[in-house]
Structures are given as structure tokens and as C-alpha cells.
């Protein structure tokens, strides 16, 4: 069995769900799912792209805020902001993953959709 056969419906839903749940770790998991499996299942392609578009800006923002946290005196404020960004990203990613696992497509309310 090769690695390029189309996904079954269950596999398609599984990888789409993992792309959203991966948002807990930032944009890398959804990027890997998108690049690796976008041609094997339409639901995976759609949902991993949605997850990637959503997780990319907060991941970049959290990285930037973490860099700013090294500034003396005000660094703790940036650390708190970075933590809040991560918590919000994690909560929304889990909510999306639950919905996608039920087989329903998910659209984030605020999403820049840079990747078409």
C-alpha cells in the first residue's frame, strides 16, 4: 500500500481534526498536515488550510511577544500577552477540532485566509 491513495472518509475527518487540534502547538502541525495530505482528502485540504490560516498570525504574534519579553522592566507584560495569545489559540483550536471531528466544516470567525 503506497502513501498516495485517497483517504477514506474516516481518515479524511481524522487528519482534518488533527490539523485543528494541532493549533495548540501553533501553526506548524496544520502546515505539516496541509503540505503532506492536502491531495489525499478534500476535507483534510479544506480544514488544514483553514487551521493554517487561523494559526499563523497568532503564532507569529506570540513569538514576537516572547522576544519582547526579554526587555527589562516591561518584559513581564509581554510574557502575559504572549500567554493570553496562546491560551486563546488553544481554546479556539480545540473548539474547531471538536466540530470538525463531528464531520462539520469549521470557519473561524476572525481569519485572514492568506493561503488560498
Task: Specify the pLDDT at position 114.
Answer: 80
Angle of the 28-37 helix axis to the 9-21 helix axis, nearest 10: 150
Task: Specify the pLDDT at position 110.
Answer: 82
Question: What are the grid coordinates assigned to 107, written together?
Answer: 470557519
Task: Specify the pLDDT at position 1.
Answer: 44
Task: Specify the pLDDT at position 4.
Answer: 81
Q: Answer whether 11's CB lies under 8 Å from 43's CB.
A: no
By residue count, the chain amounts to 116
Per-residue model confidence as pLDDT tens for the chain (116 residues): 446 889 999 999 999 999 999 999 999 999 999 999 999 999 999 999 999 999 999 999 999 999 999 999 999 999 999 999 999 999 999 999 999 999 999 998 888 778 87
Task: Specify the pLDDT at position 115.
Answer: 80
Task: Specify the pLDDT at position 89.
Answer: 95
Question: What are the grid coordinates assigned to 72, written together?
Answer: 527589562
Amino acid at each position: 500500500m503506497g502513501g498516495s491513495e485517497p483517504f477514506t472518509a474516516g481518515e479524511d475527518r481524522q487528519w482534518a481534526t488533527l490539523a485543528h487540534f494541532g493549533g495548540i502547538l501553533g501553526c506548524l502541525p496544520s502546515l505539516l498536515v496541509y503540505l503532506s495530505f492536502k491531495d489525499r482528502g478534500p476535507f483534510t485540504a479544506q480544514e488544514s488550510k483553514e487551521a493554517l490560516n487561523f494559526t499563523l498570525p497568532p503564532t507569529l504574534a506570540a513569538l514576537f511577544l516572547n522576544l519582547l519579553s526579554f526587555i527589562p522592566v516591561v518584559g513581564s507584560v509581554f510574557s502575559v500577552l504572549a500567554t493570553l495569545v496562546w491560551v486563546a489559540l488553544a481554546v479556539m483550536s480545540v473548539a474547531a477540532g471538536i466540530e470538525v471531528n463531528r464531520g462539520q466544516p469549521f470557519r473561524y470567525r476572525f481569519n485572514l485566509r492568506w493561503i488560498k
